[in-house]
Each structure stands twice: as C-alpha cells, then as structure tokens.
A and B are shown apart, each in its own frame.
Chain A
Amino acid sequence: MLRLEQRQQPSKLMLYLTPVLAVLTTMAVGGLLFVALGIAPGRAIYLLFIDPFVDSYNLSQLFVKASPLILIAMGLSIGFRAGVWNIGAEGQFIMGALAGGAVGLALWGMTGWWILPLMAVAAALGGALWGLIPALLKIRFNASEILVSLMLVYVAENFLAQMVQGVLRAPDGMGFPESRNLGRNEPTALPDVFPALGINAGGVTMLVLLALAFFLLQKHALGFQIKLTGDSPRAARFAGVKPGVIIALCLGVSGAAAGLAGLFELTGAAGKLTIDFPLGYGFTAIIVAFLGRLNPVGILLAGVVLAGTYIGGENAQFMLKLPAAAVTVFQGMMLFFLLGFEILINYRVKRLRRAV
C-alpha cells in the first residue's frame, strides 16, 4: 500500500522538478495515445518536442511564437497569484490587435518612427479596457470574472468578424474579409532584432516587461500584496489591501499584456487582420503560466517549450497529416500531469507497512 504523508515544508526540489516531470510524462503518454490512434509515435514525438529546438528554420520561428505566449502568461500569472482568474486573454488579445490595428490603418500612408509605438499604446489600452470589463463587474456586482472574461472572448471574435467585413476591410482587397497588410507596410511592420531565434521588437519588449514583472513580484510591496491576496484574502484585508484595487490591477495588466501581444502578432507574424487571426495563444498561455509556476523565469522556459509544440504541431500536420488538434491534446495533458504531480510538493509518497 502507498500512502500520502504531509511534508513539514513544501519541497523546493519538487516545485522545480514537477514541471519537467509533467513534460516527460506527456511525451510518454502522448506516444501511447498516438499508438491507440494508429499514428507512428516516435516520429510524431520527435517532431513535436525535439525538432523545433534543433532545426535552424524552426529555431527562427521559436520566439515568434514564444513571445506572445510568454507576454500573455506573464500578465495572467500576476492575476493567478492573487486568485483573480482571467481566462479571457484570447479576447483581450483580439481587442488589442483591433485597437492597435485600427490606429495603424487610420494612419495608412503616413511615415514616422512614432506610428508603431502609438499603435502599441492603443493595443495595450484596448486589451486593458476589455480586461477591465470583468474586473468592474466583479468589483461592483460580484459577477464571476471567470465566466465574464470567457464570454467576452466570443464577443470579441464576433466583433473581429464584423470589423474585417466592415470598416477595417482593405479598400483594394477585392472584397475579401481582411484588412490591409500592416506587416508589409514599413512604418507599421514590426522590425526584426535577432532573426535566428525569431526575436523581433515584440520579443525585446516582452523580455523587458518580463524583467519588470520579476521586479514587481519579488521586490515591490505591490507584488507582496498581490501574493498575500492570493494566499490569504483575509490577512490581506487586515493588512489594508483593497481587494477591488487588486482585481482591477490584475485584469487591467493582464489585459494590456494580452493586447500588446495581439498587436505584435498582427504587425509581425500575421500581417493582417482576418477572421482566423486568433490562434488560441490566450488559452495556451494559461498552461504556460502554470507550467512556469507563475514565476517570470519559469514562464520564459515554459513559453519556449509550448512554442515548440506549436511549431512541431504545424510540421506534424504537414508531414504526418496529423490534425492540428493533436497539439491541443498534448497541451491539455501537460496541464493535467502538472496539476496531478503538484501533490508531490506538499506530500511525500510513503510505503505503508502492514500493522502488526
């Protein structure tokens, strides 16, 4: 018989080891799943988990995908620490791209270094405002931010569809439901910085913001208040932390981060607004945040791992005719295993001797 025994103190080793364990178990169990579905497992696992990190073309895509994931996850992690569950980052991502994209399209034909920064500000604002809707409804009316933020994803998707068929549609696009290509227009295109790893101006911004988040959470009083709210809301109230301020801050910041990620995706990898513009980064980022243990450094690593599965998934789709959904299965599984292994942090497994 096995028995769980509570540890005196949470295990530091397990805290860092469990995400690695989760990834390895996902590879193993995922392989079994492929066998069950009649897909050769070895090649699929290689394409999903190894190839993205060794092939030079894949490497040049790594941070193109990792940057938005990390940026969104960083924002979400601040909220998750405080027990504020923003699961509508996908919607904030779309609204950010729409707001920033609208500014870029309005200034079409103009040149100047200030255009892209202005679009970024608009995107951050758009995402933050979309995130503040659930915050406001939570603070004022006690409505679940989980459900409201999620519902707003569907609203944002429909709004995007409306915009690309309407005011933001390219005038010379022969009626296709898409905007002009902001990625091929010099003043609005995101400049590359380190193309070998796919780091563009968005990636650099992401790294700077990640450092700021690290500072906020580890060194600043506000970071302490956020963590306190999550660990013990009662203690936080006694310490004078206003819950409403924390809720608004968490949803506003994560919304702004997601909005910014949306703009970088628009002016970088995607180029133009279409109905298929959102790729599910807002949902995958939730896994990134957990896999990274809500810690900025961990999120950086987790973002790279999951970006790899996105790239690997695209290649596997192309080479093995694997459906795109296979990646989603792996991502969900990874989160399952991670949450399951978490018990090893606070408990140890003991073999129970039979009582004499």
Chain B
Amino acid sequence: MDFSSLNAVAMIVLLIGAATPILLAAIGELVAEKSGVLNLGVEGMMIIGAVTGFITATTTGSPMLGFAGGALGGALVSTLFAFLTQYLHSNQVATGLALTMFGLGLAALMGRNYNGIKPPRTDRLEVPGLSDFPVLGELLFSYDPIIYFSVFLVFAVWWFLNRTRGGLVLRACGENHDAAHSLGYNVQLIRFGAIMFGGACAGLGGAYVSLVRVPQWTEGMTAGVGWIALAIVVFASWKPWRVILGAYMFGGITILQLSLQALGISISGAYLSMTPYIVTIVVLVIMSADRKRASINAPACLGRSFHASH
C-alpha cells in the first residue's frame, strides 16, 4: 500500500473544506440553543439552503449571490419552526423533525429541474505572492471566501455572546426565560431572531455543499451533516471556539476515510463510510458522560417553551 500519496498539507486544506458546512450549521445552531431553543431541523434548513443557493447561483451566474440565496432560504424556512414553537408553543423536538422532513421534501421538489447542471465556480481568494508560497501559503491563503467568513463568523458569535449587551440578553433567555421576561425583554422575539440566524447559517452551509463541496444538486445531498452539526454543539459544550475544533476534527475524519477508500485499503468502503457517524456517537458519549459538567454548560431553558402568564 502506498501512503506517500497522502500529502499532509493537501489533506489539511481538504479537511477544512469538508468541515466548513458543519462549522457554519453548528455555529448557527449554537446561537439558537444559547437562546433556549433546540432546533432539530438543521438538516432540513441545510438542504433548503443547498437548493436555493444552487438555483440562485446557476440563474444569476454568481456564486456569491448563490451563498446569499442559500442563507436567505435557510432563514425563511426556519421562520416556520420559529412561529410554531414561539407563538403556538408547539413541542420543539417534534417541530424540528417536521422541519427536517418538510425541508428534505421541498428541496427535492424545488430542485427537480436542476439535476446534472454545473454551478458557476467559486474561486479561491488569491493573495498576490502569498497563495503560491509553499506549505504556509497553501495552508493559510488557498481558500475560498466562505471559509474565511466561517472562521470570522465564529469569532463574531463569540464576541457577540460574551462581549455585548445583546449577547447577554440572548443568553439570559436561554438560562432563565422568566427572569428575562420580567426584566422586560421580549423572549419570544429574541428567540425568533436566534432561530432565523441559525437558519441562515445552516442555509449558507447547505449552499457550500451544493456550490463548492460536490458541486452539483442531488436529492438529500446533505446526508446527515445537519445532524452531525447538532452533535458538534454538544461536543463544543456550547462554546464557539470549540465548535471550530469539533468541526475540523470531523472534517479530518471524513477526509481520512475518503483517502483510505481511494487507496483501496482492505477495509470495505461501507465500513469506512460509517466512521463519521460512529465517531459522532462516541464523542456524544464522552461529552455527556460527566453529568455535572454537561448540565452546567447546557442552557438551563434549552428546549422549554416560554409562555408569558400575563
């Protein structure tokens, strides 16, 4: 077996690409969960973003407009979930599942005439002189704008949640919605906004899958990435920086198993394809095992519906 084709620098560049959809979806879900909402519809919002982004990009010819279209699509479809859970007080778990099923179906219906089309190319951001610099240039300056944006977004979310008044209010809604309400904050509206932010991020992640990762439109192409993003939030203990760590680790596993499949290693492909999902389970188990730590980090009102008594 020839391992020399496994170039470390190339693998890191690949893994960051593979991790970006997960990273985007997970950072959005983190904000929603910090406000006290458990949205299990990430997979549905992602696939809607994948199809709306793809349609926008192919009709306008601009990948950047495509990413915007994906984010918009994800945000729009998330308002269904937001309205039902915030104003009609529906069960968040069931409504999230409904959003996933609805999203998968609607995306397939919307994209039925877009199979087999190639989207416009998303170019990498060229930094004159640096992008072609060996090793470091490749590691730091060989990506498309969305990858830089995703890292910036993690920083922005961290800054917003921990360094601004708005972030404090949002976290208050997630920790104790009655207290936030009694201070005069509109819990439902804040959560509505957090859900839409999550939807936009998931949609952007979906568009990244259909415009850069694959790049093509096929039904159900997100293949569980949205669910892995949900697990990454638990892995990250609801801390933005750890979301990067978790997402890149998963990107690494995905790329490693794909490279091993390409090398024709004696383990069968189907077993290797299982590994990201099995690793997700293992990670969930490790992170949840310490009940005390898990309960300190998780927002106290996560998944609980808020209804003002007066």
> Which residues on A are within 8 Å of B, measured CB to CB?
37, 85, 87, 137, 141-144, 146-148, 150-152, 154-155, 158-159, 161-162, 165-166, 283, 286-287, 290, 323-333, 335-336, 339-340, 342-343
Contacts and interface: CB of A to CB of B under 8 A. Distances in A.
Contacts of B40: 146
21 contacts: A37-B109, A37-B110, A137-B281, A141-B289, A142-B289, A143-B284, A143-B288, A147-B231, A151-B227, A151-B231, A159-B274, A324-B108, A328-B101, A328-B104, A329-B102, A330-B105, A331-B101, A332-B99, A332-B101, A340-B84, A343-B88
Nearest to A332: B102
B285 A141 contact: yes
Number of chain B interface residues as a range: 35 or more
Contacts of A328: 101-102, 104-105, 108
Given A37-B109, A336-B98, 5 more contacts: A137-B281, A143-B285, A151-B281, A325-B219, A333-B102
Nearest to A347: B89
Contact of B270 (A150, A161, A329, A335): A161
B81 to A, nearest CB: 9
A141 B288 contact: yes
Contacts of B109: 37, 323, 325-326, 329
B256 interface: no
Interface of B: 40, 44, 80, 84, 88-91, 93-95, 97-110, 112, 219, 223-224, 227, 230-231, 234, 268, 270-271, 273-274, 277-278, 280-281, 284-285, 288-289, 291, 294
B98 to A, nearest CB: 4
B280 to A, nearest CB: 5
Contact of A286 (B97, B227, B270): B97
Contacts of B285: 137, 141, 143
B56 to A, nearest CB: 17
Contact of A287 (B44, B88, B101, B284): B101
Given A158-B273, A159-B270, A146 B93 contact: yes
A327 B98 contact: no
Contacts of A333: 102
A154 B220 CA distance: 13
What DSSP secondary structure best describes chain A's contact surface? helix
Given A37-B109, A325-B109, A332-B103, A339 B288 contact: no
A328 B271 CA distance: 29
A283 B80 CA distance: 20
A297 B90 CA distance: 23
A332 B268 CA distance: 35
A339 B88 CA distance: 8
Contact of A155 (B93, B234, B277): B277
Contacts of A143: 281, 284-285, 288-289
Nearest to A289: B94
Most chain-A CB neighbours within 10 Å: which of B44, B94, B99, B273? B94
Contacts of B294: 142
B97 A87 contact: yes
Contacts of B284: 137, 143-144, 147-148
Given A150-B227, A151-B277, A335 B105 contact: no
A147 B234 contact: yes
Contacts of B278: 151, 155
A142 B209 CA distance: 32
Nearest to A339: B90
Nearest to B228: A151
B88 A342 contact: yes
Contacts of B277: 151-152, 154-155
A24 B72 CA distance: 30
Contact of B91 (A155, A158, A339): A339
A233 to B, nearest CB: 13
B112 A158 contact: no
A130 B20 CA distance: 31
A329 B105 contact: yes
